[in-house]
Amino acid sequence: MSDLVLSTAQLEVKRAPSGIGSLRIVQTACILVIALVIVSPLLMLFVASLKDDRFQILADMGSFRAFWVSDPTLSNFMEVGNFSGQLAFGRYLMNSLIILAGTVGFGLVVNSMAGFVLAWGSLRGRALILSLVIALYVIPQESIIMPLVIMVSRAGITDTFAVQIVPWVASPLYIYLFYQFFAQLPKELFEAAQIDGASVFRIYRSIFLPLSLPALATVSILMGIEAWNQYLWPILVTQTDYARPIAVAIATFFGQDSIYWDRAMAASVLMMIPILALYIAFQRWFVSSFVGSAVKG
Amino acid sequence: MGKRLLSLLMASAALGGFAEAKTVIHVMHQGDPGWVATYGDVAKRFEAANPDVDIELIYAPHDAYNEKFSAAVMAKQLPDIMELDAPFLANYVWSGYLQPIKPLIDQDVLDDMTESNIAQGTYPADKDLYAVGLTDSSVVLYGNRKYLDAIGARIPKGVDDAWTREEFEGYLEKLSKLDGVKWPIDTFRGYGIKTEWITYAYGPILQSAGCDLIDRETWKSVGTLDSDACVEAMTMMQTWVKNGWVVPQSSGTNQFFAEGHPAALAMGGHWFYAEAAASMKDDVVVMPLPKFGPQGASPNGTWIWGITTASENPEVAGKFISFMLKDKQFRDYARDDSAYPGLKSFAADSPLYDTGGPMAVAFEQASKTAVARPPHPAYPIITSAFMGAVDEIFNGGDVKAALSAAAEKIDEDIEDNDGYPPFDEQQ
């Protein structure tokens, strides 16, 4: 009997690793397939940007040739990457970078300050203000866009960088994100600094802000993507190419009669690079922010 | 000394101000990169010829043009000149955004306009001209010569010779069984429902079948759009889709000349010729739109130029439009882009559309079968309601119910606006 038990146990020991092994292969295969599905549009975009015939790009779509280029050329990039002329995409790219830097830079300061005050400030009716901030989040941007257009035109700031930065600096979502992060930090930190005589602003700047790298990274990335992809707003509030971002410039390639896929793809690749760089720069803290929020009780 | 210096500074500032005082004309437009560059060049040439005028171009992407226009209206920042899609003209005039353009445009340009160009720029309530363009547009039936020869199809010689519905559907069926043909026809569903395509291209099918989007005398849609003739015409199109004869929306707009040529026919705009001919060379056959009922019908109307009521310098604005429409380089670019002529002199300079030219049949349609989209201030709702109905029908919805719902929506809008006077007086 004992021999039988022993032999069964040995069998189980042998089977277990092989079962896990095949499961891992299946898992890996699934991950690879999913990764391929996710990456394939980007790959198609990049490959198409290296083709100089827009009709060929159209003809190749829907077949495996969409992922292959026999005579790669950088002519599309040369054409859209210039800084002068009627279609100065280099200029538009710079405009987008200025808008991105302005929105994220001011946004981090304003939203983190608001979040900190809501978490630790001695305001009366803090809970009510917080509820209002959350309530604001559910109002769709589309419903306020026309009144906002009237406001900025009356303020005389249309066709400027400011009109594309200022309205989007304060955001209920990011205020709430900062609030949530600051509120989770230990109360002792705040009290110890107070005992040492630090002002509320000093506590925010010297203690809480340096500890909030994951929140700063998360907001930077989300806010950056939002600012980078703004399309309708710049169309409505800008008249000339002085402050127009690249997303609007790319729309030029989608004409009434034809779509210039070759140049649109090259411009899209160029447009992708800065936001990808932002993500890579902040990725470590971005991920840790999500992991942190998931494991905290 | 201080006062003298101050006076000197003020005087020089004033002189400088006078020296720089130029008339600024804002021009709002859409267009692809080629057109954007062309407008920029023509503006520079006009400024060189008129040193006291500055032309400021305001670009708005094609798909967001109406939003940009609405924002300009709300912000009271209407440009002096605006490019507008012809079927929306009645709405803009009724709303008070455009001014009559005849007194502002050079007489030789006005005398040069084709009939359909005059029609697309005329507001029917007062019969006045509010916009003018170098170009117009049309839709034709493109065919793959090899496939048509393989099924023994008759190739029409001109508009009077167009296929009948029976011939057309018979050919679709034969083509559906032909080796190499995946879809007998591309009706450009790929353009989606956010453009004017459905109303522009499919509306004439209804008109050819003996009905319309709206009654053009009573301005009532119920009883017209959901009439038996319209239900029959839309059921016919739904059957093409159900039979798998039509290129689906998800397959894009290039299946006529894509690898292997999976679509045998294409009901496409005049602009499609350049793409199709570049890819298929002599295999492209251009034919008139089929007759789906007693008479043929084809669309017209494109983006044209109007002067807004907000313009403080309408004479200068008119001068710029006249200059642009006569500018040689501007016309050369339009001709090379296979633009459809809206001026007689431009037609004479466009061999593509001239007698014997590959697109001559498209130009012939302009005088024989062109039907403008309903020139009514309710057009924005007419087009959106019809496009919604067609989308529902193509996705398998009940034809009569979809058309009735659209017709009711249109009539409700007209009632809500008290009949858009003076259109109510035309009944």
Distance CA B156, CA B290 (A): 10
- Best CA proximity match to A250, nearest among A52, A96, A145, A69: A96
pLDDT tens readout for residues B275-312: 889 888 899 999 999 999 989 999 999 999 999 999 99
Cis upstream peptide for B422 (omega within 30°):
yes
pLDDT value for B193: 78
pLDDT tens readout for residues A45-89: 999 999 887 777 877 776 788 888 888 888 888 877 765 555 677
Q: Return phi, psi of residue B179, to 5°.
A: -60, 135
pLDDT tens readout for residues B244-278: 999 998 887 788 988 889 999 999 999 899 888 98
| Superfamily holding B24-136+301-350 | Periplasmic binding protein-like II (3.40.190.10)
Is 90 exceeded by the pLDDT of residue B110?
yes
pLDDT value for B7: 56
Both tokens of residue A158? 């249309």
How many other β-carbons are positioned within 10 Å of the β-carbon of residue A264? Answer: 23
pLDDT tens readout for residues B69-80: 999 998 888 999
Distance CA A95, CA A246 (A): 7
Is 80 exceeded by the pLDDT of residue A293?
no
Span B123-145, average pLDDT: 95
Q: Across the interface, which of A239, A248, A260 has its CB nearest the CB of B32?
A: A260
pLDDT tens readout for residues B163-178: 999 999 999 999 999 9
| Amino acid of residue B368 | K
Both tokens of residue B141? 């039936």
Could you tell me the pTM of the whole model?
Answer: 0.82
Of A81-95, B112-126, B326-340, minimum mean pLDDT range? A81-95
Do the Cβ atoms of B32 and A255 come within 8 Å? yes
State how far residue B185 is from chain A, nearest Cα, in angstroms.
17
Q: B201 CB contacts (<8 Å, ≥6 apart)?
A: B139, B187, B188, B267, B269, B299
User: CA gyration radius for chain A?
Assistant: 26
Task: Confirm or reject contact between B174 and chain A (CB < 8 A).
Answer: no
Do the Cβ atoms of B258 and A58 come within 8 Å? yes
Q: Return phi, psi of residue B287, to 5°.
A: -130, 160
A63 CB neighbours in chain B (<8 A) are 259
Q: Is A153 helix (H, G, I), strand (E, B) or coil?
A: helix
Is 90 exceeded by the pLDDT of residue B387?
yes
Contact predicate A210/A204, CB 8 Å: no
Distance CA A150, CA B292 (A): 49
Both tokens of residue A76? 């599309």
Contact predicate B89/B380, CB 8 Å: no
What's the CATH fold of domain B139-300+375-417?
A: D-Maltodextrin-Binding Protein; domain 2 (3.40.190)
Distance CA A291, CA A296 (A): 9
Interface test with A, best of B59, B74, B284 (most A CBs within 10 A): B59
pLDDT value for A223: 93
Both tokens of residue B290? 């089929």
State how far residue B375 is from chain A, nearest Cα, in angstroms.
21
Listing DSSP states for B112-161 in one string gives HB-HHHHHHHEETTTTEE-EE-SEE--EEEEEEHHHHHHTT-----SGGG
Output the CA angle B421-B425-B427, nearest 5 degrees: 125
Can you give the residue ranges of every domain in chain B?
Answer: 24-136+301-350, 139-300+375-417
Q: Across the interface, which of B59, B67, B271 has its CB nearest the CB of A258?
A: B271
Output the CA angle B120-B136-A252, nearest 5 degrees: 110
Span A4-29, average pLDDT: 64
Distance CA B138, CA B365 (A): 8
pLDDT value for B245: 97
pLDDT band per the 50, 70, 90 thresholds, residue B44:
very high
pLDDT value for A262: 86
- CA B219 to each of CA A187, B127, B200, B201, B212: distance values in angstroms, whole numbers, following the listed order: 71, 17, 19, 21, 11
Both tokens of residue B95? 């709303």
B278 CB neighbours in chain A (<8 A) are 55
What's the CATH fold of domain A89-239?
A: MetI-like fold (1.10.3720)
Of A129-138, B101-110, B213-222, B229-238, minimum mean pLDDT range? A129-138
How many other β-carbons are positioned within 10 Å of the β-carbon of residue A45? Answer: 17
Is 60 exceeded by the pLDDT of residue B111?
yes
How many CA atoms within 13 Å lie on the side-chain side of A198?
A: 16
Do the Cβ atoms of A235 and B70 come within 8 Å? no
Distance CA B33, CA B327 (A): 19
Contact predicate B287/B361, CB 8 Å: yes
Is 50 exceeded by the pLDDT of residue A296?
no
Q: A42 CB contacts (<8 Å, ≥6 apart)?
A: A272
Task: Confirm or reject contact between B68 and chain A (CB < 8 A).
Answer: yes
Do the Cβ atoms of A150 and B74 come within 8 Å? yes
pLDDT band per the 50, 70, 90 thresholds, residue A15:
low
What is chain B's mean pLDDT, rounded?
A: 92
Residue of chain A whose alpha carbon sits nearest to that of B69: A236
pLDDT band per the 50, 70, 90 thresholds, residue A19:
low
Contact predicate B69/B58, CB 8 Å: no
Both tokens of residue A278? 């932002």
- Best CA proximity match to B184, nearest among B238, B105, B127, B241: B241
pLDDT tens readout for residues A244-253: 998 988 888 8
- For the sheet with B131-132, list strands across it: B53-59, B23-29, B81-85, B303-307, B131-132
Span B350-373, average pLDDT: 92
Task: Confirm or reject contact between B24 and chain A (CB < 8 A).
Answer: no
Q: Look up residue A203 and give its DSSP letter.
A: I
Both tokens of residue B120? 């697309």
pLDDT tens readout for residues B405-423: 999 999 999 999 999 998 8
Classify residue A185 by burial, with Cβ atoms within 10 Å: 0-12, 13-18, 19+.
middle
How many other β-carbons are positioned within 10 Å of the β-carbon of residue A56? Answer: 17
Percent of chain B with pLDDT over 90: 79
Output the CA angle B78-B80-B86, nearest 5 degrees: 85
Residue B422 host element (H or E): none
A249 CB neighbours in chain B (<8 A) are none
Task: Confirm or reject contact between A140 and chain B (CB < 8 A).
Answer: no
Provide the CA A255 distance to its chain's centre, in angstroms.
28
Do the Cβ atoms of A153 and B76 come within 8 Å? yes
Task: Confirm or reject contact between B75 and chain A (CB < 8 A).
Answer: yes
- Best CA proximity match to B266, nearest among B368, B197, B166, B336: B197
Distance CA A153, CA A158 (A): 6
Classify residue A81 by burial, with Cβ atoms within 10 Å: 0-12, 13-18, 19+.
middle
List, in sequence order, every residue forming a beta bridge with B271; answer none if it has no partner.
Answer: none
Domains B24-136+301-350 and B139-300+375-417 alike in fold: yes
Distance CA A162, CA A177 (A): 25
pLDDT tens readout for residues A95-109: 999 999 999 999 999
What sign for the dihedral angle of Cα A133, A135, A138, A141?
Answer: negative
State how far residue B311 is from chain A, nearest Cα, in angstroms.
16
Residue of chain A whose alpha carbon sits nearest to that of B262: A59
Is 60 exceeded by the pLDDT of residue A290?
no
Contact predicate B141/B270, CB 8 Å: no
Is 70 exceeded by the pLDDT of residue A1?
no
Residue B225 host element (H or E): none
Distance CA B148, CA A118 (A): 73
pLDDT band per the 50, 70, 90 thresholds, residue A242:
confident
Distance CA A182, CA A190 (A): 10
Span A103-119, average pLDDT: 95
Both tokens of residue B298? 């084809």
B268 CB neighbours in chain A (<8 A) are none
Q: Across the interface, which of A153, A248, A258 has its CB nearest the CB of B77?
A: A153
